[in-house]
Amino acid sequence: MLSDYKRLLGTMAAIVTMLFSGAPKAQDELETVGLSVYTETARDIYMAGLQLPYGAVMQNLMLAPPPKAMEYRIATRRISSRGFSGTILLQGELGSGDRAPDSAVNALAELKESMKGSLRQGDRFVIYLNEDDETVFILNSVELLRVSEGDVFDFFYAGWVGDGAASTFRTPLLAGTIDAGMMDRFSALAPSDERVAAITDWTAPPPEPAPAPAPAPVVPEPTPVAPTPEPVQVAAAPAPQAVAAPAPATPEPAPQAAAPEPAAAAPAAPEQVAMAEVPEEAVAEINDELSQLDDREYQRQLQDYVSTVMRQVYGEVKYPRRAIKYQWEGRVELLAHLDESGDLIEVVIDSTSGHTGLDKAAQSAVKRAAPFPELSAVAREELVSDEGDSYVMAIPITFTLQR
């Protein structure tokens, strides 16, 4: 956490900047000055874009005056709001070398309440510090949260540029030059129009209930008027005749209904499979277990599960002899489709290495490594698809020859 002394220096720097370069720039006048990729357990989680005013000098970035912003462009297929919260929380604590301040923890709690679902590939999440020292959280151009404490921004910012930030992440971010291929990838990560509309709905006020229809006016019914009776002619009554009473019928025994044949059980819909197999008491126990975890522990348990899967796969990777002979290298990105028990359903290539031999070797490694561990409560919460009966895990494998 930044000391008050550092914040005072930052304020002084802001005054100097205003004297020599005019008023601070607006948010739309920031430019991306550095790019990096945040990787966790071999998976690319997001691309990071550091944004400063045009012409800013990249020195003493922790003390650079506002406005400034951090843009997270989601690279993984899906990450829950809690998973993302845990990721940036641990990253901030690593970069700052201290526990997160209460203001940052509280801001994350409010942010998760405003997020009505997971982040998805292409989403653009921004943490912005404006000239009023307010920290603003924005998703796909929709403001989700604004807090008055500037130290909230400083905490997450330290996770990127602080002295304790991971060098593999921090170094390319502060290189001062941007690789063209990195910029192309960064630019390509964008939400669809449908996704933007869905995020906009998160902040829409709930619809007001329709007013109750006005009661229909009560029209009094007319008082009935008795008709004038006509004269009645009375005929002589006929002589009574004896009528034999019918003998009582002997009741027939009621037919017994045939026992219905047992109906064939209807197949469960896909979205019901997982819940049908898990008793309600077990579901309640899982939810209770998750509720007791803070974001740090949640993220650690998720990383443990993913690391276990990756170690199993990497232990089965075999470099093809033909690839060694011809000096083939490359990175294969696979999508392993698994059920909740860890059995492999299929594995497909999401991004090729450029060499069929390396791609096939990567697929074979995943097949040999299966089955994988059964999902833990945290892994189930984070990875299981909306249908609730399977999940997809991204598995990157890099083939590199020893020189």
Do the Cβ atoms of 349 and 397 come closer than 8 Å? no
E strands present in 75-205: 78-79, 119-120, 124-129, 135-139, 142-147
Q: Is 19 helix (H, G, I), strand (E, B) or coil?
A: helix
Supply the pLDDT for residue 216. Answer: 63
pLDDT of the chain along its 403 residues, tens only? 444 444 444 433 333 333 333 333 445 689 999 999 999 888 899 999 999 998 777 677 777 889 999 999 999 988 989 999 999 999 999 999 999 999 999 999 999 999 988 999 999 999 999 999 999 999 999 999 999 988 999 999 999 999 999 999 999 999 988 999 999 999 999 999 999 999 999 988 777 766 666 666 665 565 555 554 454 443 434 443 433 334 444 444 444 444 444 443 333 333 333 333 444 554 455 555 566 688 888 888 888 999 999 999 999 999 999 999 999 999 999 999 998 889 999 999 999 999 999 999 999 999 999 999 988 888 888 887 655 678 888 899 999 998 7
By C-alpha distance, which of 306, 317, 297 is closest to 364? Answer: 317
Beta bridge mates, 142: 139
**Cβ-Cβ contacts under 8 Å for 87 (sequence gap 6 or more):** 38, 40, 45, 79, 299
Supply the pLDDT for residue 131. Answer: 92
CATH architecture assigned to 274-399: 2-Layer Sandwich (3.30)
Supply the pLDDT for residue 42. Answer: 80
221-244 burial string, b = 16+ CB within 10 Å, else e? Answer: eeeeeeeeeeeeeeeeeeeeeeee
N-term to C-term CA, the chain: 42
Condensed to tens digits (0 to 9), the pLDDT of residues 211-251 reads: 666 666 665 565 555 554 454 443 434 443 433 334 444 44
Overall size of the chain counted in residues: 403
CATH of domain 4-202: 3.50.70.10
Enter the DSSP assignment of 46: E
195: exposed, middle or buried (Cβ count in 10 Å: 0-12, 13-18, 19+): middle
Residue ranges of the domains in the chain? Answer: 4-202, 274-399
**Whose structure tokens read 């990497």?**
314
| DSSP element (H, E) containing 349 | strand 344-351
CA-angle at 402, arms to 42 and 370, nearest 5°: 40
Supply the pLDDT for residue 380. Answer: 83
Quick one: CA dihedral 293, 299, 302, 308, positive or negative? negative
Angle between helices 4-21 and 150-161 in degrees, nearest 10: 90
Looking only at the bridges linking them, the beta strands covering 124-129 and 135-139 are: antiparallel
Amino acid in position 137:
F
Main-chain dihedrals φ then ψ at residue 312, nearest 5 degrees: -60, -45
